[in-house]
Amino acid sequence: MPTAPPSPPPAPASPPSPPSNPKRVRPTPPASLSPPSSLLFSPYLSLGVLTSPVPPSLFPSSPPLLTCALPRSFTIYSLASITPSLVSPRLPGRCGTITAVANDGKRTFLGTSRGYVRVYERVTCIAEWRGGGRVAALELVGGVVMVGRNEGAEVRQVGEDDDEDDDSEPDSDDEDLSAISGAAGDSGSDSDDSHAPAPAPGTLEVFTTSRYEPLTLVASVPLPSPVSSLLHPPTYVNKVLVATRSAGLLLYNVRSRKLLHTFGALEGRGVINAIVASPDPDTVAVSTTLAVPGSPPAHQVTLLNLRHDKPLFSLSHSAPVHSMSFSATAPSLSTATPSEVHTWDLEKRSLLATYPHGNTAPTSLLYLPNTPTLLATSLNSICIGRAGPATSGPAT
């Protein structure tokens, strides 16, 4: 049979016509120029405000409220947008400067350099108590206010003058409020007390506060050393940790007024700079500085098991750490040195990353409750950002 002739080859396809409205495609930058996927601390809210070295107080409302101190007044910020909600009037000159602040959501408690503890509802002072010695620390636990005082000469802050207010008067002429009847140190007696026993280096005072009795002293405990900070472990009923300058870390029962334990695990580690509770009720982080003759000081943050008085591990720093905060959403700890903020992976016991903190030293670090959001304050700013994975760096 005759075969069919082969079919002709297909005609070449015509080139596609250009689109009538072409879209511009932005070229992808090289990987080395691409921004990192996440940063250690990338602030998304920042406000340039003046504060003081006094650590602020955070109340976990919705939105959270942050109480910051100036030398003679305080401001309460709403953290939804870092806007001031309340600004207090100036303290009377007789009170000195603010050295400690705490807020329970309804009232603000202030401690001052001249021994006053003042209670405010909004911006109105409703009670005050005058005691002996500078207020070094305040701790609120329910309806209990714990105050750590240091005896000795008053330590004045820059800008504090005796006569800068019209109401600066001798202490004996101060007007007594209803909550200060029987306050220690206000008797105004001129009798010779040269044979009186020397006051204790530090004092722990315990007050109760209620709707009708804003401030009532119920206990006063002498301490063997000046106080640096106070901490109430959440599950330790009627107990408080007292961090001292030379006697180490002490556990007191505020009801019986007795010293229960001195933590030997911190012996030989130097002066305690700060202490903070962790999500684990039996674990705290303690910052210490040990002066070594002929060598640079040793700065460490030690995770301490309170139940067994045992150090778990330590994190070395190149500078003293005065503020720390645990994350509630990840096993991490953020620490602040005078120039940097560090975030540590507690499971790997390694440094995740370091964030330089501008031209002023961070004065406080606080994780917002149940979020990875970190709040950092300094003398001229309040920053809120998310702390997360970052490029790793060497441990210091």
As given in the structure block, the two tokens for residue 272 are 């305690």
Measure the CA–CA gap between 5 and 102, rounded to whole angstroms.
100
CA 88 to chain centre: 21
Measure the CA–CA gap between 103 and 342, rounded to whole angstroms.
27
Which residues does 267 contact at the CB level (< 8 Å), separation at least 6? Answer: 248
Q: If we measure between CA atoms, which residue out of 186, 190, 248 comes closest to residue 217?
A: 186
- pLDDT score for 343: 92
Neighbours of 176 (CB within 10 A): 12
- pLDDT score for 79: 84
Give average pLDDT by consecutive 10-residue segment, the chain, 396 residues: 58 57 46 36 63 90 90 91 89 96 94 96 95 93 92 45 44 35 36 50 93 91 93 91 92 92 93 94 94 91 96 94 92 92 92 78 88 87 70 39
- pLDDT score for 72: 95
- pLDDT score for 147: 96
CA 186 to chain centre: 32
Query: What's the chain look like in SS3?
Result: CCCCCCCCCCCCCCCCCCCCCCCCCCCCCCHHHCCCCCCCEEEEEEECCCCCCCCCEEECCCCCEEEEECCCCEEEEECCCCEEEEECCCCCHHHCCEEEEEECCCEEEEEECCCEEEEEECCEEEEEEECCCEEEEEEEECCEEEEEEECCCCCCCCCCCCCCCCCCCCHHHCCCCHHHCCCCCCCCCCCCCCCCCCCCCEEEEEEECCCCCCCEEEEEEEECCCEEEEECCCCCCCEEEEEECCCCEEEEECCCCEEEEECHHHCCCCEEEEEEECCCCCEEEEEEEECCCCCCCEEEEEEEECCCCEEEEEEEECCCCCEEEECCCCCEEEEECCCEEEEEECCCCEEEEEEECCCCCEEEEEECCCCCEEEEEECCEEEEEEECCCCCCCCC
pTM for this predicted structure: 0.76
- pLDDT score for 51: 82
Which residues does 227 contact at the CB level (< 8 Å), separation at least 6? Answer: 136, 137, 148, 149, 150, 202, 204, 242, 243, 244, 245
Measure the CA–CA gap between 32 and 162, rounded to whole angstroms.
59
